Copies of this chain bind each other. A is one copy, B any other.
Amino acid sequence: MSVSLGEIAVRFGCELRGDPGTRIDGVAALAAAHEHAISFLASSRYRRTLANTHAAAVILEAAAVADCPTACLVCQNPYATYARVAAWLHPPPPVAPGVHPSAIIDPTAQIDPSACIGALAVIGAGALIGARALIGPHCILAPGASIGEDVRLVARVTLGERVTLGARTLVHPGAVLGADGFGFAPDRGAWVKVPQLGGLRIGADVEIGANTTIDRGAIGDTIIEEGVKLDNQIQIGHNCRIGAHSVLAACVGISGSVTLGRHCMVGGAVGISGHLSICDEAVITGLSLVSHSITRPGVYSSGIPIEEAGVWRRIVGRLKRIDAMAARLAAVERKTNLRGGAARSEEDE
């Protein structure tokens, strides 16, 4: 696809500095861009790279114009504008309507004629598949799945029973949506399975990464609201609700019955204990343990950055004896008359 710079400027509402007739045939990183590529500057730390770019044009904000050696498209949010330009220049292959002859479709499934069902897909009883939806090769839809318009299950996505996907939702390979939640009742030394009878409702414009798992509810439903973005290898337990437009990095694990607010950001490998409530706009940095609810927006952490291993062992040794250290400090305070009743009560709690 080849377009003119002027066409891009008009379509995406940018101010153009440069020749509108310049031809653009794709996007590239600043350092790798050739003379027909468009690039972007989203962070000031790449300004040096900008100075040496061979891109035909760069999408950037007004403050960076002076540093740009080539044509530029000026806008308020260069990264988002870049994303839209790139999607326009490099569209995914169109969905070819039709059902692959190797797919196995229950006769009661209702498939929109504009949808595409890939090779070896298995579509269960009563499934509803919306317009232009793509059910990639090797996908499995258990009975009762409901798939919105323009949904894309790239390949090998498994939907358990009672799963609903909103429009334009995109799911990557290996994701398992709507498996049984993990519920067992202890009984005389063994575990009795608690039937998992709820569903899983996923909103519109959600993205779900490769090998991510989301369990269906125990009695009610697990809910992923619109615009949520889930990276790879995430686990979300039964009865959770993930608020709209929240974004979760890879390897996050969320126990059952957690309510995560809207517009939250959860770093990689964070663990959230069961039955907690996290407010809107909470940010949790990577490898943190959330074991209490969060009621105020803000940034929360409990990860500890690495040290050289010998130093770290010594630190951990001290940490393990911190209680004795505190007692020794209190003794010194008493000896030096630095410790009154208030301090003591704090210490002796």
Residues of A within 8 A of B (CB): 27-29, 32, 42, 77, 79-80, 82-84, 86-87, 90, 100, 102, 104, 118-120, 122, 137-138, 140, 142, 154-156, 158, 160, 170, 172-174, 176, 179-180, 182-187, 189-195, 197, 205, 207, 209-211, 213, 215, 219-220, 227, 229, 231-233, 235, 237, 245, 247, 249-251, 253, 255, 263, 268-269, 271, 273, 283-292, 294, 298-310, 312-316, 318-320, 322-323, 325-326, 328-329, 331-333, 335-338, 343
Q: Is B313 a contact partner of A193 (Cβ separation < 8 A)? A: no
Question: CB-CB < 8 A to A102: which residues of B?
Answer: 104
Say yes or no: A197-B27 contact (C-beta < 8 A), given A211-B174, A247-B191.
Answer: yes
Shortest Cβ distance from residue A87 to the other chain B in the assembled complex, whole angstroms: 5
Distance in angstroms between the alpha carbons of A269 and B253 in the assembled complex: 7
Look across to chain B and name the residue whose beta carbon is closest to the beta carbon of A207.
B193
Highest count of chain B CB atoms <10 Å: which of A77, A210, A292: A210
Shortest Cβ distance from residue A56 to the other chain B in the assembled complex, whole angstroms: 15
Among candidates B32, B190, B319, residue contacting A220 with C-beta atoms closer than 8 Å: B32
Distance in angstroms between the alpha carbons of A316 and B301 in the assembled complex: 10
Distance in angstroms between the alpha carbons of A242 and B172 in the assembled complex: 23
Among candidates B29, B79, B292, B302, residue contacting A185 with C-beta atoms closer than 8 Å: B79
Q: Is B336 a contact partner of A192 (Cβ separation < 8 A)? A: no
Distance in angstroms between the alpha carbons of A247 and B183 in the assembled complex: 11
Given A80-B185, A82-B194: 13 more A-B contacts, CB < 8 Å: A83-B183, A83-B184, A102-B104, A119-B122, A122-B138, A138-B138, A184-B207, A250-B255, A253-B268, A283-B309, A298-B309, A300-B309, A315-B323
Shortest Cβ distance from residue A208 to the other chain B in the assembled complex, whole angstroms: 11
Question: CB-CB < 8 A to A229: which residues of B?
Answer: 182, 184, 191
Q: Is A122 a contact partner of B140 (Cβ separation < 8 A)? A: no
Question: CB-CB < 8 A to A142: which residues of B?
Answer: 155
Report the 7 A-B pairs with minimum CB-CB distance, sorted nearest first. A299-B309, A80-B185, A80-B187, A176-B210, A79-B185, A179-B210, A251-B253
Say yes or no: A301-B292 contact (C-beta < 8 A), given A80-B185, A314-B323.
Answer: no
Highest count of chain B CB atoms <10 Å: which of A100, A290, A315: A315
Say yes or no: A233-B232 contact (C-beta < 8 A), given A179-B173, A209-B182, A306-B302.
Answer: no
Q: Is B320 a contact partner of A306 (Cβ separation < 8 A)? A: no
Q: Is B233 a contact partner of A235 (Cβ separation < 8 A)? A: yes
Among candidates B235, B284, B325, residue contacting A250 with C-beta atoms closer than 8 Å: B235
